[in-house]
Structure 1
């Protein structure tokens, strides 16, 4: 197998691994409110624990040598506490199903808009049709979930959508700047830990001292290591090898994955409109993924 073909295979594999990672993350974040931890604690776990692994690696590899100060500042902000606090706060207002819909299900549409506005690249007809199907499914899923949610669910939806804008910008930069794994870890984890952790310790409210051991360990392990290390590296590799557009469309499978895991793990039931919407979303996903030609 040629190196080009191999990189495409690993790129698609990484993208589908992200689907699994983020689907489980929806489940873990769904039960975070029952752990006694504040959103500020969850962000502290995300940056603080990940930095325990990231700092020694960055000292060894010195990834900052290949980055300009502007790149470090922009990437650190996009992956920083502002982004993650928007996301965690969204779960305080809206159901977790909305998180998958608005953070991942709409990524393809955001990717198309960014491509048109920033790079003057027009989508293909198949991508437009697929994107419209994804949009329809997202609307149906949001409406169906709103039946049992509070009147303030729209606040969570706005927070989730804002998080999706941050994340889409990250994927674009990962592709355009050809960011390496250690550069992602340095900006996304080490820089943000150095800035956020002192602020959290000195000024932000925390429920960590009273949190039950079991729920605390679940959040610590998953929030601390999986999304901010494994997830970001998979996203960077997928964006570099198969492109931001393909990665975004594959990530649109996260709402379906989260719904299936919610049914299997948490015993949640899917209404008929949700099942139909997930089928439509999957069809839009398969139609929208544009495979790049592999040069042997």
Structure 2
């Protein structure tokens, strides 16, 4: 991959930075149940705390300007509670490594399918071969995880895959609509906070009052600020400067990072078959990287 211009360099730097951010987020989310917080609490932290920072910025920059109502609705829905609750629910069934595999590892494959359906972007032979390797490795990992880790691991894998569908849609639309970072934060954080927090406070089960302080602070900082602010800014910048194909492929390095951190921090182990499938997945990701001109910054 050529990284000649400054905008391309910062785009690749942003994409690789989010690899570490997402890998560690997998670990933090996997241990969230030990804090006593419910998945609804984690979602509330994600929107509520981030909106404390996002709301003044959105008001100052008038983030809604230039956005059509349908764009606000679509982006807010894609980054909304259904997506987040699916992901958090997945960690109740499957290891942290599977979160990286089935959310980030399949992103190039999902992006190709969406690009073909929505924009008639036909992938080349190289991308198709890489996608085939990704698909085979994902199937093997799902089967092996169910056989060796937990009989319910497939439920988590399915929930993670649904999350990948949402996330890939976000990456594609942020590029296609040329939505700015502050507009993404407005839709993904402020709009969802306004819609979700009253529902959570009035009707959804919560363990917030009884959660130990240290785990609560960890979840508050990482769920509240890292994904919805730092993550969205980095991904939006990378998607605009190096394109959604390269962004998705680099982000798909997260499976390896998640597997390594899961083994080092949580003591999770992968069978030899899963390790081989993870290697195959990585090869498929490298093959599927598309060389393309960046979008105007």
Contact preservation (8 Å) 1:97, 1:145? no
- The offset of 1:179, in angstroms, is 1.0
SS at structure 2 position matched to 1:92:
coil
The unaligned stretches of length 5 or more in structure 2 are none
Instruction: Note closer, same or farther for the CA distance 1:294–1:91 as it changes in structure 2 (3 Å cut).
Output: closer
- Is the 8 Å Cα contact of residues 78 and 167 (structure 1) preserved in structure 2? yes
Residue of structure 2 equivalent to 1:104: 104
Matches within 5 A, 1:5-84: 5-84=5-84
Given the alignment of the two structures, is residue 277 of structure 1 paired with residue 277 of structure 2, yes or no? Answer: yes
SS in structure 1 of the partner of residue 229 of structure 2: helix
Q: CA separation in 2, counterparts of 1:112 and 1:293?
A: 17
Contact residue 145 and residue 153 of structure 2 kept, 8 A? no
Q: State the alpha-carbon separation in 2 of the partners of residues 228 and 259 from structure 1.
A: 23
* Alpha-carbon distance between aligned partners in 2 of 1:214 and 1:294, rounded to the nearest angstrom: 43
Aligned 1:229-248 pairs, distance under 5 A: 229-248=229-248
Q: What's the TM-score, normalizing by structure 1? A: 0.94
> Which residue matches 2:175?
175
Structure 1 residue 12: Cα displacement: 1.4
Aligned to 1:249: 249
What secondary structure is seen at the aligned counterpart in 2 of 1:191? helix
Query: Is the 1:26–1:258 contact (alpha carbons within 8 Å) kept by the matching residues of 2?
Result: yes
Task: Identify if the C-alpha distance between structure 1 residues 287 and 60 changes in structure 2 by more than 3 Å, giving closer, same or farther.
Answer: same
Q: Is the 8 A contact 1:87 1:163 kept in 2?
A: yes
Contact persistence 1:253–1:281 (CA under 8 A): no
Report the Cα offset of residue 262 of structure 1.
1.3
Gap runs ≥5 in structure 1: none
Output one character per residue of 1:160-191: Cα deviation in whole Å (capped at 9) or x when no partner. Answer: 11111111110111000111110011000001
Quick one: distance in 2 between partners of 1:54 and 1:105?
29
- Residue 134 of structure 2: SS of its match in structure 1? helix
